[in-house]
Amino acid sequence: MGAASRIVLVLTCSLVSIVHGTCLACDGPLQARSSPSSVAGTTSASASAEAETRLRTTHLLDRLARARLDIPGGIGKASVPQDGKHLQPYWFSQGLEEQKKFHRRVILNFPDEALRDMREALVIPLGSRVTLPVDDSGGGTLAAVHLVAHSGGKARKATWRYVCHGAGKESEIGTLDAESVGLGQVRTWPAETRFELPSWCLQLQVDVQAAGDGPAGMEKPGSGKGLYAVWQDPRLERPFAAVENRGYNVLFIVVDALRSDVVGVHNTEFPSISPAIDALEKSGTTFPQGFANGNTTLLSMNTLLLGAHPRAMGFLTLYWAGQDRRPNFYQARPTYITRILHEAGYVTFGATHNHLYFPGYKFGADPAFDVLQDSGRESTDHPLLVRRALEFMEAHKNHRFLVQVNLIAPHQPYAPPQESLEHVKTTLGKSKPLADIRYLGEVNWVDRHIDLLVRGLADLGLDEETVVLLTSDHGEVMDIAHDCYSVRDQHRSFHLHGVTLYDEELNVPIMFSLPGLIRPQVSDVVAEHVDIVPTLLDLLGLPVDPRMTGRSLKPVLVDGIPLPDDGAFAERWTTRTYREGGYKLLLHTAKDDICPTVASKVCKEGEWVELYHVAKDPRERHEISRQMPDKVKELREKIKHWRQTLWEKGGKVGPNP
């Protein structure tokens, strides 16, 4: 494929049977009827002619504020079902306040696969009419998923009708019928339906009516019971204009709890157990000095998508603990790359093992994937998540997309399949690594699935057009010198994470690969999680939001230009750390309740510090704060400066640090 079809990979894969995360081979309750000018189903008439064309996606619900909603009983009185299990607020809605209650996140549960599926949709009573601007002529393909659901009522049939307006013309472009179903009974989304829009179409009218006699819509305005339509992310697809930057797709691999020193060039202890990760690393740029800005999934997974320290976004500090502050967080339009790319014409998909992405969880934050599919199994879900990602990538080969794959191994409970465990035992021989052998078995297990992803990418012919990024949300404590117990967290740090800020928890793999663009090299530059989003946007030719606190690593990746050591800051609830010039300070606040073995001579009540010369003592086993009081003072001031700067950058949300 030519330059127009280049892609950036954030770890995805594909097969042929899924479009926008929906099964094309499934027999859904929809029956489409097309007018001569339209095409219903999953393949448009012009698809083959545009096979080599990259399609720009316009998400029509982003124009909701300019749409007209005609709702039975009036938009003010009407409501949607009060179903918190399946319907959640859509925090990114750009609709008017009175419209937002209909713009929802729809969550379906597929128990056979232990999978949850979350998408954006307009949820409206039957009998409603939606009129949306198309804005400019030029035609294109309208793609959407349609579902009719009932709440507290009997199943009914309904009809969707599409009409185009423009240039003094009006034309029906298609209709389809659907049988209503309870959301709790849905086991897969219906197949996506596609209609071709005439070139003169400037306004799209959609009517949803109950078939036959009897009441339509809600039984009583405001009751939340009755029949309602679910119009899932209607999209207009057109080729990118010749003058537009077509960028790349992105595949984003996040391996949970993966220490940097057990894979790739950083592994100097034992023979390789991760050939796929090692090969990916050799094909691009790797940063042995790669660091997370937090030590929990909760903090890191959002930092990885925001490109900013949590404090700079007012995100998930103790300030959040007292009440739900998410409305304020989303009102500030957080800098999620998923949302930035959504608005730039991409489609975004997550195949994850991360309940923290769901808004129903107390501290959960919705990161704005167009489609999010999440598994609740342990590492046995890797084949499922890899398959879902591959299917999505194949179905969207002609689109711009970002796909994140989040694999849970080698997170606790360290229960690798026997095959992986035996392979590791054989490979290690007489080696005695610091990490638990069961943990390493999980590393080998996840590596096998990364191999499937990378091979799947090559099978699709996208391996030379895709930027692959691999990292981890945090590491794992394996050194008994860093063991301690937290009363607040109610667990030890050993064989876990989230309690300390030693490099065992913060030093993570960060590697980028795109043959022909990104250099194969090992870089000494300090790279952080906050740098990943600015780097991706820079590679894609998109502007970096000034609220982001990371820097672009593109000069390193493409030109091999070293960047200065700007220091690296990280924090947890009660501890902060800053590293610069080969030294690292850990500052424990008076609220911290841990005393790691290595720091037993300096830990005390109130505020206290640890200092390590990490350039010479990378394992952080020799605490030197009492020998270097001037260095402690210097780095303590820098921690104070960082916290104050990030607080101000975040709009002074929460208490002054």
What's the rounded Cα separation, in Å, for the pair 259 and 513?
20
- Mean pLDDT across 415-430: 96
- Which of the four pLDDT bands, split at 50, 70 and 90, describes residue 355? confident
pLDDT, residue 352, reads 95
Q: pLDDT, tens digit, for every residue of 247-269?
A: 789 999 999 999 999 999 999 99
- Write down the pLDDT at residue 568: 97
Residue 40 banded pLDDT, cuts 50, 70, 90: very low
Judged by average pLDDT, the poorest of 185-189, 276-280, 288-292, 383-387 is 185-189
Per-residue confidence at 638, pLDDT binned at 50, 70, 90?
very high
- Reported confidence tier of residue 504, pLDDT bands at 50, 70, 90: very high
Per-residue pLDDT, 41: 32
Instruction: Evaluate if residue 45 carries a pLDDT over 60.
Output: no
Q: How confident is the model at residue 86 (pLDDT cuts 50, 70, 90)?
A: very high
Mean per-residue pLDDT for 207-235? 72
Superfamily for domain range 253-309+337-561: Alkaline Phosphatase, subunit A (3.40.720.10)
Q: Give the closest residue to 14 by CA, choosing from 198, 249, 211.
A: 249
pLDDT for res 34: 39
CA distance 410 to 428: 17
Sheet containing strand 157-166, edge to edge, reads 30-34, 169-179, 157-166, 203-210, 128-133, 68-70
Burial 419-458 (b: 16+ CB within 10 A, else e): ebbebbeeebeeeebebeebbbbbbbbbbbbbbbbbebbe
- Architecture (CATH level 2) of domain 29-239: Sandwich (2.60)
Distance CA 517, CA 15 (A): 27
DSSP letter, residue 48? T
pLDDT value of position 321: 64
Whether residue 217 is predicted with pLDDT greater than 60 in this model: the reply is no
Look up residue 241 and give its DSSP letter: P
pLDDT for residue 44 is more than 60: no
Average pLDDT for the chain: 87
Instruction: Give the largest CA-CA distance in the chain.
Output: 86
Confidence of residue 138 (pLDDT cuts 50, 70, 90): confident
pLDDT at 320 over 80: no
* % of the chain surpassing 90 pLDDT: 68
How far apart are alpha carbons 200 and 552 in whole angstroms?
A: 42
| pLDDT at 50 (0 to 100) | 36
pLDDT at 123: 96
* Nearest residue to 474 via CA among 525, 509, 513, 524: 509
Indicate the range of 217-231, 320-334, 399-413, 507-521 predicted with least confidence.
217-231
Q: What is the mean pLDDT of residues 505-514?
A: 98
Task: Reply yes or no on whether the pLDDT at 181 is more than 70.
Answer: yes
The label of the residue with tokens 């790691």 reads 596
Q: Where are the domains of the chain?
A: 29-239, 253-309+337-561
Write the DSSP symbol of residue 191. Answer: P
Residue 417 binned pLDDT confidence (cut-offs 50, 70, 90): very high
- Tokens standing for 430? 């007489």
Nearest to 130, CA basis, from 141, 142, 118: 142
Mean pLDDT of 344-352: 95
DSSP H or E stretch at residue 472 = strand 466-472
Query: Is the pLDDT score of 38 beyond 90?
Result: no
Write out pLDDT tens, residues 539-556: 999 999 999 999 999 999
Return the pLDDT at 23: 36
Is residue 332 scored above 60 in pLDDT?
Answer: yes
HEC readout, 583-621: EEEEEECCCCCCCCHHHCCCCCCCCEEEEECCCCCCCCC
Of residues 42 and 543, more confidence is placed in 543
pLDDT of residue 314: 82
Cβ neighbours of residue 546 closer than 8 Å, sequence gap 6 or more: none
Asked which of 21-35, 147-161, 191-205, 490-504 is least confident by mean pLDDT, the reply is: 21-35
pLDDT for 222: 46
Average pLDDT estimate for 453-478: 93
To the nearest 10°, report the CA torsion of 527, 533, 538, 541: 160
pLDDT at 394: 95
pLDDT band at residue 227 under the 50/70/90 scheme? confident
If one compares 651 and 349, the residue with the highest pLDDT of the two is 349
pLDDT band at 318 (very low <50, low <70, confident <90, very high): low
Arithmetic mean of pLDDT, 477-493: 90
